[in-house]
Amino acid sequence: MSPALFGLILINIVLLTAGQTLWKIGLGSVGFSLSFTGILKLLFNPFVFAGLAVYVAATVLWLYILSRAELSAAYPLQSLCYILAALIGLFVFKEDVSLMKWAGLVLISAGAFFVARG
């Protein structure tokens, strides 16, 4: 995999995690109820809407990546989203990230490393 393509995958990972972060912020401000009005309220929340826009950009980028990279190499690298999300959870949302979670994230990182090298 070329360095440029690897860089695009990293950008895609950041976009996906940013979208999730925006959704989490938006949900924190309006909550969520599984009703027509609840869904409309959610969709018109600026953070949720921005998260959707970021996800659209990530999807377009992902389609480009898939047209250039092997799926067996590109898709496992997306697991790096878990690591970035854990860091955002820790620093932005002040979540507790236990030692067991960190151990799992280290294993995911190792797997992503082997995929990128192989």
**Span 5-45, pLDDT tens digits:** 999 999 999 999 999 999 999 988 887 788 888 888 888 89
What is residue 113's predicted lDDT score, i.e. its pLDDT?
Answer: 80
Q: Which domain holds residue 14?
A: 3-117
17 by Cβ neighbours in 10 Å (0-12 / 13-18 / 19+) ranks as buried
Q: How far apart are CA 100 and CA 97, in angstroms?
A: 8
State whether residue 31 is helix, strand or coil: coil
Number of domains in the chain: 1
**Span 62-74, pLDDT tens digits:** 999 999 999 988 9
